[in-house]
Amino acid sequence: MDSAAVMATAVFFFLVVAVHGDHPQVSAMFIFGDSLIDNGNNNYITTLAKANFFPYGIDFEGGRPTGRFSNGMTTADVLGKLLGMPPSPAYADPSTKGVSVLNGVNYASGAAGILDETGTNLLGRVTFNEQITNFENTLKDITSQLGSAAAVEHYLSKSIFAITFGSNDYINNYLVPAFYSTSITYTLETFSDLLISQFSQQILRLYELGARKFAVAAVGPLGCIPSQLAMANNALNEGSNCVESVNQEAALFNSKLRYLLRFLEINLPGARFVYGDAYSAVTDIIKNPTSYGFSVTKQGCCGIGINNGLITCLPGVLIPCPNRSQYVFWDAFHPTEAVNIILATKAYNGSLNDASPINVKQLAQL
């Protein structure tokens, strides 16, 4: 992507938001995932995975921390804006009830994974299975408001279920042998099979609850995040931007995820799936940063140690970089808002190289 294409992406995003901001393209947007799209659920639990302090949110509306693991918007925030939807409230917020749930709810939780055990090294988190249970609770609220089973069925069929999972099952499970035995119990092949099997059951559970339109994000190139580079002591390795062995693990999972979504679409009547290829998108950004307007690919904007990846942002301690829009990574694990805008825009309106077999905009029109 050249600079003109990058500018076009930015212009497209702001134009779509301006035109569709008051014109929702779907009934609701229900969000399930991890810290990449958590908008504050972890604020309400005892966990080491928190982002409700400065400098998180420095570029968000009002320059305030909200619990988002970013300097600004997450991909879910951006995608919601592109779909013309108001922000989905955090499920754990006590005010998320009644009419406030009708446009959708965000259930995502930092450190959460496909596997229930994932993230226990960071204490509390809301697993994917628990997030689905929380959606069941929301569904009771929705049913009481819409009044009939037919109305609820139609409403859910016109809603999008956005799902981002898998990263923590590697970086806060398989790749942390001091806390987990999975790397001993499973090979890379069998561990990816375990994840896909569990994920399949979780999608089926959502389908049985009425979900029909799914937007599922691939796991990104985990070997490129500052924390993995720091652990590999890769800061001065000019020959490679990433830890390729870790990237291969993510790529293996993604290949099976893509196949699973095709299989489910064939076998679940009425279900449609979008596979958002975040892996390829972030890889291209890292390989061709200047084409996207970035200049720093190996280092987090906020952090401590090699690549600013050994310790992530701490409250009241660290001052983030001033040129945040030039950084691919915000902290040791998460991309900047600038990257999130690119990823969400590709998923919404991208080609088959970005989202397949259709993009989110086309999914919303079905």
Cβ atoms of 258 and 197 closer than 8 Å = no
**Judging by DSSP bridges, how do beta strands 296-300 and 160-164 pair with one another?**
unpaired
Q: What's the full length of the chain, in residues?
A: 366
Please answer whether residues 201 and 262 qualify as being in contact, where contact means their C-beta atoms are separated by less than 8 angstroms: no
Q: Are 18 and 10 in contact (CB under 8 A)?
A: no
* 219 closest CA partner among 273, 165, 169: 165
Q: How far is it, in rounded angstroms, from Cα 163 to Cα 171?
A: 18
Q: What DSSP designation does 58 have?
A: T
Q: Which residues are catalytic?
A: 35, 331, 334
Q: Using CA atoms in the order 190, 195, 196, 197, what is the torsion angle rounded to 10 degrees?
A: 90
CA 285 to chain CA centroid, nearest Å: 17
Range 6-15 contact pairs with CB under 8 angstroms and sequence separation of 24 or more:
6/291, 6/292, 6/293, 6/342, 9/341, 9/342, 9/345, 9/346, 10/341, 12/345, 12/349, 13/78, 13/81, 13/82, 13/341, 13/344, 13/345
The structure tokens listed for 47 are 């966990």
For 7-16, the CB contacts below 8 A with 24+ separation are: 9/341, 9/342, 9/345, 9/346, 10/341, 12/345, 12/349, 13/78, 13/81, 13/82, 13/341, 13/344, 13/345, 16/81, 16/82, 16/348, 16/349
Q: Note whether 344 and 75 are within 8 A (CB).
A: yes
Q: State how far the Cα of 127 lies from the Cα of 116, in Å rounded to an integer.
A: 6
- What is the rounded distance in angstroms from the CA atom of residue 287 to the CA atom of residue 211? 37
Extended strands (E) in the chain: 29-33, 160-164, 213-217, 272-276, 296-300, 327-329, 355-356
